[in-house]
Amino acid sequence: MPMQMTFRWYGEGNDRISLSDIKQIPGVTGIVWALHHKMPGEIWEESEIAEVKRQLDEYGFNMDVVESVNVHDDIKIGLPTRDKYIENYKQCIRNLSKFGVKVICYNFMPIFDWTRSNLFHPVGDGSTALFYEKNMIQDDYNAMAKYILDFTEKYHMSFPGWEPERMAKLDELFRAYEGIDHEKLWANLKYFLEAIMPTCEECGIKMAIHMDDPPWDIFGLPRLLVDEASIDRFLKMVDHPCNCLTLCSGSLGANPDNNVAAIVRKHCDRIAFAHIRNVKHFENGDFSEASHRDCDGDTHILDILKAYHDCGFEGYIRPDHGRHLWSEGPGTVRPGYGLYDRAMGIMYMLGVWDMLDKLEGNKMESSKPEFLYHGSPYLFDIVEPQQACGANPQESQKAIYAGTNFEHVIPFALPIRWYPDNPSGKRDFTCEICIQPPQSKTFLNYGSLDPNGVGYVYKIRSDSFTKVDDWQWVSPIAVVPTEIIKIKVSDYINTVVFSEEAKEIHKKLYS
Ligand code: DNO
């Protein structure tokens, strides 16, 4: 399964972009959604979730990823009332899981979500983008909050994490966070996660924390998820497969010291959701958001995508903030969430991904030998696909399995039989395949092997085969062998390791 492309949508009546617009972007299978009218701490009711599901179903989109179920400040501050809000959070998880939700993206930033000083800053080509002017975001949180709130009021648009109801009590909120330093915030995050992990496990939902944006303290408020070391700490702190990351390349990329591709390679199995955003730095510490094209910013988008591809990433991904283009401007678009630049971002990401797939396919094809080998104790003219029952999906296909070398398949050619040789019998063997000849080994745990018996190795053309691992290939269709080579057990008996039980059987039957 490849990565799963998604697109964030703010919901009916809350987003000028329609589902039918999104449907026209190639490759999008899921909508990243939320109930944006919900305040942090409120329960998301089943009927409300069902309504969104109905809307998405109409366009064939899945609702696997929610961004965000926001965490109540009392949980972040660690107030006694947090337990009540944690119970509500668990109920949200249960309700969401009933509709197939798999990932919840959330953040643990005190008071503010992403913070910028200018929402429509000229990029230089006629488009605008979110901009961070370092000097503007130092001490005076009121000035910054006023800028954002005036915007939301003027254009009747509120941003998640910047709910006017919370912002109206900003001074009170800052007082409530007094004394919450990094360590206390870490402890409160741990408390929250440990409380909800059993519910997540039960419901099959991954909690995917978003990186702090920007990745440093602002207005004296601590921020936790800021670099590789803090991500390591987070994953170790609650070492549970449901405790995952929303790895946001742009949030981390705001600090040029962060190497996002290296973090992907280190923690790919714990990244449930990837946000791809590009950022351009200025020498004075300011930064602007940029198109997704690698060379338009400093985030190293190509290295990041290559890292995901190399790791076989199968999680959800979306283009994050884009620029505002053409007719998009204040009042006509949600800052960072226009249609066009995000759609182009998707095409860029898919273009890179498709090419990486193709190059990998070519690499595999070029290592394909003309002939492969299939082993069986039985003699037939045509080799037919059989249902295999292996340790993983690759080894459990209905297919013809073949090895690159003759020696690979000897364990499958040996005529190992049930003991006793009737319907009540049992047969059990495993093998150790030598990737490089000379010889594979067979471990006969139970069953019999006639020392004078024979088996067959089928030499077959590789045309209908694809590679499944470092030595095996599969064909979904029958093939006519070009040669059938009879093997004698006596020539390979030294490659068979008998268990104590198998030795007994062998003695009884053949000595
Ligand atoms: C930025 C977004 C974040 C994200 C929240 C998750 O646009 O990626 O606002 O949704 O931090 O809770």
Structural domains in the chain plus CATH codes? 4-361 (3.20.20.150), 369-510 (no CATH)
Angle in degrees, CA 162, 339, 270, rounded to 5: 65
Q: How far is the CA of 499 from the centre of ligand 1 (A)?
A: 58
Q: How far is the CA of 219 from the centre of ligand 1 (A)?
A: 19
Q: How far apart are CA 71 and CA 161, in angstroms?
A: 10
Which pLDDT score, from 0 to 100, does residue 437 have?
Answer: 61
Three-class secondary structure of residue 53 per DSSP = helix
Please check the confidence at residue 420 and state whether its pLDDT lies above 60: yes
Average pLDDT, the chain: 94
Distances (CA, A) of 320 to 32, 104, 350: 11, 16, 14
Distances (CA, A) of 175 to 52, 71, 353, 469: 37, 18, 47, 58
Q: Which residue of the set 89, 337, 419, 492 is catalytic?
A: 337
Which pLDDT score, from 0 to 100, does residue 143 have?
Answer: 87
**Which tokens sit at 297?**
């910013």
Q: How far apart are CA 206 and CA 95, in angstroms?
A: 14
- Residue where the block lists tokens 């940029």: 290
36 is catalytic: no
For 435-489, what is each residue's pLDDT tens digit?
Answer: 666 678 899 999 999 999 999 999 999 999 988 877 889 999 999 999 999 999 9
Whether residue 440 contacts residue 434, with contact meaning beta carbons closer than 8 Å, is answered with yes
Which pLDDT score, from 0 to 100, does residue 307 have?
Answer: 97
Check whether the bond before 164 is cis (ω within 30° of 0): no
Whether residue 191 contacts residue 257, with contact meaning beta carbons closer than 8 Å, is answered with no
Distances (CA, A) of 423 to 420, 449, 450: 8, 17, 19
Whether residue 292 contacts residue 301, with contact meaning beta carbons closer than 8 Å, is answered with yes
Please check the confidence at residue 23 and state whether its pLDDT lies above 90: yes
For 188-247, what is each residue's pLDDT tens digit?
Answer: 999 999 999 999 999 999 999 999 999 999 999 999 999 999 999 999 999 999 999 999
Q: Which DSSP string do the residues of 393-447 spell out, in sequence order?
A: GGGSSEEEEEESSTGGGHHHHS-EE-BSSSTT-B-EEEEE--SSSS--EEEEEES
Three-class secondary structure of residue 488 per DSSP = strand
Q: How far apart are CA 363 and CA 314, in angstroms?
A: 21
Pocket probe for ligand 1: among 15, 33, 114, 316, the residue whose CB has the most ligand atoms within 8 Å is 114
Distances (CA, A) of 16 to 9, 158, 328, 331, 418: 9, 13, 11, 10, 68
Q: Which residue of the set 267, 275, 309, 506 is catalytic?
A: 275
**Which tokens sit at 172?**
């009170």
Residues in contact with ligand 1 by the CB-under-6-Å rule are 67-68, 105-107, 113-114, 161, 210, 248, 275, 320-321, 336
Q: How far apart are CA 36 and CA 158, in angstroms?
A: 9
Q: How far apart are CA 461 and CA 354, in angstroms?
A: 28
Which pLDDT score, from 0 to 100, does residue 364 have?
Answer: 72
Pocket probe for ligand 1: among 38, 65, 75, 210, the residue whose CB has the most ligand atoms within 8 Å is 210
Q: How far apart are CA 320 and CA 346, in angstroms?
A: 10
337 is catalytic: yes
Q: Looking at the DSSP assignment, which residues form a beta bridge with residue 441?
A: 432
Q: Is 172 exposed, middle or buried (0-12, 13-18, 19+ CB in 10 A)?
A: exposed
Please check the confidence at residue 4 and state whether its pLDDT lies above 60: yes
Q: Looking at the DSSP assignment, which residues form a beta bridge with residue 426?
A: 419
Which pLDDT score, from 0 to 100, does residue 435 have?
Answer: 65
Whether residue 178 contacts residue 73, with contact meaning beta carbons closer than 8 Å, is answered with no
For residue 428, the tally of other CB atoms under 10 A from its CB is: 15
Please check the confidence at residue 280 and state whether its pLDDT lies above 80: yes
- Residue where the block lists tokens 């972040």: 76
Distances (CA, A) of 115 to 47, 156, 251, 495: 33, 19, 10, 66
**Which tokens sit at 137?**
């975001």
Determine if the pTM surpasses 0.85: no
Which pLDDT score, from 0 to 100, does residue 379 have?
Answer: 96
Whether residue 473 contacts residue 372, with contact meaning beta carbons closer than 8 Å, is answered with yes
Q: How far apart are CA 463 and CA 341, in angstroms?
A: 42
Q: How far apart are CA 25 and CA 17, in angstroms?
A: 12
Q: Looking at the DSSP assignment, which residues form a beta bridge with residue 8?
A: 32
Phi and psi torsions of 69, nearest 5°: -100, 105
Q: How far is the CA of 114 from the centre of ligand 1 (A)?
A: 7
Tell me the pLDDT band of 89, cut-offs 50, 70 and 90: very high
The amino acid sitting at 17 is I
Average pLDDT over residues 120-149: 91
Q: How far apart are CA 329 and CA 427, in angstroms?
A: 71
Pick from 33, 30, 25: nearest CA to 9: 33
Which pLDDT score, from 0 to 100, does residue 225 have?
Answer: 98
Please check the confidence at residue 377 and state whether its pLDDT lies above 90: yes
